[in-house]
Chain A
Amino acid sequence: MPDPNRRRAILTGLVALGILAASPAGAGTPPVSAGDLAELSLEALMDLEVTSVSKKASKLSDSPAAIYVITNEDIRRSGATSIPEALRMVPGVQVAQISANRWAISARGFNGEFANKLLVLIDGRSVYTPLFSGVFWDVQDVMLEDIDRVEVIRGPGATLWGANAVNGVINIITRTAEETQGGLVSTGFGSEERGFGSFRWGGEAAEGLHYRVYGKYFDRDSFKDMNGNNARDEWEVTRGGFRMDWDVDEDDLLTFQGDFYRGEVGERHLTVDALVPAPATTLRNEDVDIEGWNVLGRWTHTFSPTSEGSVQFYADRTKRDIEFASEARDTLDLDLQHRFGVGDRHDVVWGGGFRWTKDRTQDSLRVHFTPEQRRDSLLSAFVQDEIELIENRLSFTLGSKFEYNDYTGFEYQPSGRLLYKPHEHHTLWSSVARAVRTPSRADDDVSLVQDIAPPGGPPLFLGTDQIIQLDGNTDITSERMLAYEAGYRYIPSPRFSADLALFYNDYSNLRSVEGVGADFVTAAPSVIVLSTFGNNFSGRAYGAELASQWEVRPWWRISGSYSFINLDLNAESDSADVTTEMGEEGNVPTHMFHLRSFVDLPRNFEFDTLLYYVENLSQGDVESYVRVDARLGWRARDDLRLSLVMQNLQDSRHAEFNDTLLWPSSEVERAVYGKLEWTF
């Protein structure tokens, strides 16, 4: 491949999108302006380093999947200060903020505080926790200024990424050390952003060996709860890290990177103080300590122009000290990939991996895991062949992932994708894929006191206290999905694009919660109402997502999207679960819409606005809301940027999600902040 820096992206096959990140719009101020280049002599031109775009990587229009890319420029101009907030701009992705530090994020339904069908990776490292199958968004962060792009695939990506990439995959990709040379300081404060600052320095240690180090800190204010009281969900995190990229020679690239973080997250939760003789609970505020670190190394070797391989290893540790459910987890992961061409028509990528994870949980009266510690391993292999049936017109991609995990044993996740390009401006694609969500540690091993119901009320209307308890089930199997997708892209010029994706997902073995019965607590006048997990739901989802970008004038760009989904779950006849169906169906907005405008004003000013609409959620009676953001940016000097960002201008506060098991929701508040960014 011509560009070693983007090899990782190339290897992922489907996600070959470098061109957006390096588009001329994002080129900033090169040392020589485009118009002056022609004045340079050949000798001078030969000395210029170019930010190159891999040929293979420049084909967004050639991905047979519903894919969307957020660029560094998109993030900067959105005013987003966190990864979850930046994801709001992705068509069809529901980002619902539960509290100041929690988000429910999913694509194509099944959203929740433990949304479990969306896989998230940062620079090739999975941040999806096997504890509950989902993402702790409060600890997923990088230096936003150094993000190259965020690639989001809606729909299954399991053939390449493995189990749990059921409804989508999010790949957060940071720039190489070579692309982040020099210094950057960014700082600011505002009403919700009580103060933030980040610093990065990038240099060249030796010929071809680039590095960067960074540090960042933020302190965010709490939101208000539904009654207008302080929700005590403020949080602060300190984070630092490094990355080194070494072009050893023309064919070898070594990357080594790592991060650490430490912070404090405010949470409000129900604490069980006693179960005997009488159950007693309190709603308590707690400052939860979070910390973690990771290191990752990757060696990419080019065997020939059509063949390259990589070996990647990472170690990751996370720790969360919640009073009622502490968890510490260590993960080791080894990943191999090899891509090669066979003749003119086949582009094969295959690989294998091994992941080992160990956790240690801590009991409380509210939650405990049996066993308290557990080690699991995951063995995986995949192969995919992209076959060019008619040159530049028709291609077929066929592949499958094979995995062996400690919960359900063998899993296979094949897909077939067809791409047809009748004309250079038109692309049609369709696919069929199977994906599974393997059970989480909690699905297997948890025992959770969900609530204490007073005497005389539901569920059993007994004259005693009722302890509502949910237990894991080691017999639970994987949730399965068969997805049928089709899409159409129309890109008549670099100035306009439209992208339509249609999907029909057929789910089976979805997780249900089944009543088990009641148990009387000896020596106490209370009863335990017990339920456990089953696999008794099936369901269908269908929908459409439309996204479009238009450069109206060289100084004005607009971008919009609309998405529609219908989710319909059905319990098997022997299931007594009456809440899951309502919950899942009621947590997804039928319609979402957003429109963004980016205007470059004279004198280096920028004015950017966002309009965002989310339909109401029947679960928890969340009203539909419109969100309006505005940002004014000013490039005062080449090395100095100032900006003022106003978020949620439409109302002083609003709820976005209200269906939580462990933590009550709070309401998102109007916010304003100012920011200064200096490069040197």
Chain B
Amino acid sequence: MLGASGPGEYQVKAAFLFNFAKFVEWPGGAMASGREFSICVVGDGDVSEELEAVVTGRDIDGKPVAVRTLSDPTAGAGCQILFAIDDAAAAEARDSSPPGTLTVGQSQGFARQGGMINFILVDKKVRFEVNKRSAETAGLSISSHLLKLAHDVYE
């Protein structure tokens, strides 16, 4: 209440995810599948409500954005973004997410070790790292604008 100095961490991260979608191009098949643009959350923690508060009612490429909670990254077929919120989920997302999925984590070294985008906190502000090569290998293309804003880019 008093002294809450800003919006919740996951609300801001949700806004980031929503923005990423504007600067990432998915391979044709990944975007065509499904009626919704799905942001899928894996890992231990209740963050989907905070994410929903931000993205509910928004569209990306004419598709309504939906937040889904998955028990396992391998179940992420049809997800455009896979958000791994703990270390265990991050490791699995790196290794075994379906092709055409943008993997986003918040674990130390996630992007360096093959995840695509990794959130970090610097002075209470949200920053992100990008692994360009991982994204390209999976058929995703990340715009130069996003790369310019990244804290670190791994080629």
Residues of chain A touching chain B, judged by Cβ–Cβ distance below 8 Å, are 2-3, 19, 22, 24, 26-28, 30-32, 34-35, 37-38, 40-43, 45-53, 55, 58-59, 72-73, 76, 145-146, 175, 178-182, 184, 202, 208, 247, 250, 305, 391-392, 424, 493-494, 679
B3-A202 in contact (CB<8A): yes
- Residues from chain A with Cβ under 8 Å of B121 in the complex: 2-3, 50, 52
Q: Which of B113-145 contact A (CB under 8 A)?
A: 121-127, 145
| A and B contact pairs by CB, cutoff 8 A, 20 listed | A2-B121, A24-B8, A27-B1, A31-B7, A34-B53, A37-B7, A37-B14, A37-B54, A38-B19, A38-B58, A42-B16, A43-B149, A47-B125, A49-B125, A51-B8, A52-B121, A76-B1, A178-B5, A181-B5, A493-B46
A38-B18 in contact (CB<8A): yes
Instruction: Knowing A37-B14, A38-B58, say if A50 contacts B3 (CB, 8 Å).
Output: no
- Residues from chain A with Cβ under 8 Å of B19 in the complex: 38, 41-42, 45
Looking at B12, B14, B16, B54, which has the most chain A CB atoms within 10 Å of its CB? B12
- Residues from chain A with Cβ under 8 Å of B86 in the complex: 55
- Residues from chain A with Cβ under 8 Å of B46 in the complex: 19, 493-494
Contact with A along B37-52 (1 / 0, CB 8 A): 0000000111001100
- Residues from chain A with Cβ under 8 Å of B6 in the complex: 30-31, 48-51
Docked pose: A51 CA to B125 CA in angstroms: 9
Instruction: Knowing A42-B146, A49-B125, A52-B124, say if A146 contacts B53 (CB, 8 Å).
Output: no
- Residues from chain A with Cβ under 8 Å of B77 in the complex: none
- Residues from chain B with Cβ under 8 Å of A32 in the complex: 7
CB distance from B125 to the nearest CB of A (A): 6
Q: A34-B7, A34-B53, A38-B58 are in contact. List 17 more A-B contacts (CB 8 A).
A: A24-B8, A27-B1, A28-B4, A34-B11, A35-B57, A37-B14, A38-B55, A48-B12, A50-B12, A50-B126, A52-B124, A55-B85, A73-B1, A175-B3, A179-B3, A184-B2, A208-B123
Instruction: Knowing A42-B19, A48-B125, say if A37 contacts B11 (CB, 8 Å).
Output: yes
Instruction: Knowing A38-B54, A38-B58, A45-B19, say if A30 contacts B9 (CB, 8 Å).
Output: no
B32 within 8 A of A: no
A30-B3 in contact (CB<8A): no
- Residues from chain B with Cβ under 8 Å of A305 in the complex: 108
In the complex, residue of chain A having the shortest beta-carbon distance to the beta carbon of B149: A42
Q: Which of B59-103 contact A (CB under 8 A)?
A: 71, 85-86, 88
Instruction: Knowing A3-B121, A38-B58, A47-B125, say if A55 contacts B45 (CB, 8 Å).
Output: yes
Contact of A179 among B4, B15, B54 (CB under 8 A): B4
- Residues from chain A with Cβ under 8 Å of B2 in the complex: 28, 72, 145-146, 180, 184, 679
In the complex, residue of chain A having the shortest beta-carbon distance to the beta carbon of B86: A55
In the complex, residue of chain A having the shortest beta-carbon distance to the beta carbon of B87: A55
In the complex, residue of chain B having the shortest beta-carbon distance to the beta carbon of A41: B19
A51-B7 in contact (CB<8A): yes
B7-A26 in contact (CB<8A): no
Docked pose: A38 CA to B3 CA in angstroms: 23
The 7 closest A-B pairs by CB, nearest first: A34-B53, A37-B15, A52-B9, A30-B7, A180-B3, A50-B9, A49-B6
Looking at B6, B127, B149, which has the most chain A CB atoms within 10 Å of its CB? B6
- Residues from chain B with Cβ under 8 Å of A3 in the complex: 121
- Residues from chain B with Cβ under 8 Å of A40 in the complex: 15
In the complex, residue of chain B having the shortest beta-carbon distance to the beta carbon of A5: B124
Docked pose: A43 CA to B146 CA in angstroms: 10
- Residues from chain B with Cβ under 8 Å of A76 in the complex: 1
Docked pose: A27 CA to B146 CA in angstroms: 29
B9-A53 in contact (CB<8A): yes
- Residues from chain A with Cβ under 8 Å of B149 in the complex: 42-43, 46
- Residues from chain B with Cβ under 8 Å of A19 in the complex: 45-46
- Residues from chain B with Cβ under 8 Å of A38 in the complex: 14-15, 18-19, 54-55, 58
CB distance from B115 to the nearest CB of A (A): 16
CB distance from B37 to the nearest CB of A (A): 13
CB distance from B81 to the nearest CB of A (A): 14
B4-A51 in contact (CB<8A): yes
